[in-house]
Amino acid sequence: MAIRTIREEGDEILRKKSREVEQIDDRIKELIEDMIETMHKYNGVGLAAVQVGILKRIIVIDLYDGKEPLRLINPVIVKAKGEQEVEEGCLSFPNKYAKLIRPAEVTVEALDINGKKVKIHAKELLAQALAHEIDHLNGIVFTDLMIPGTLEYVEPSEEK
């Protein structure tokens, strides 16, 4: 397993549409485990493969709730319901945060790491994270959707 380099704001790959994963082989599984390790290193809630420079429709999410991180391949939002105003950041936009409107609930269909179809009904933070990461797969970043005037830069705290 390895920590991957996170692509940051201004990197044109973040604007590209990711491609479907045709075959889940050892390289894809290794990429997913690297993504989880990278997300954890930077204390992220989610990470899309494009953020580590791979244009594949893969996302990982960890709400740090004691459950295994989600590993989703070719995820698609098939249903969205309601709205929630949320504050969001992104590992590709270090120390930047903005408010935006996300669905309050989503239903996502995807493949798991074994190629089995899964359906996830999500609310609140998980719905927000799924919408955010799936947007990445379509070349959309959170600042595209922010409520105007809400973008903030937070100075990183000094490591002691």
Show which residues are catalytic.
133
Give, as one character, the DSSP assignment of residue 43: T
C-alpha to C-alpha distances, 2 to 30, 39, 51, 144, nearest whole angstrom: 9, 11, 15, 30
For residue 65, CA distances in Å to 34, 56, 111, 125, 126 come to: 20, 27, 22, 11, 11
Rounded Cα distance, 16 and 73, in Å: 17
Q: Measure the CA–CA gap between 12 and 150, rounded to whole angstroms.
A: 24
Question: What value does the CA radius of gyration of the chain take, rounded to a whole number of Å?
Answer: 15
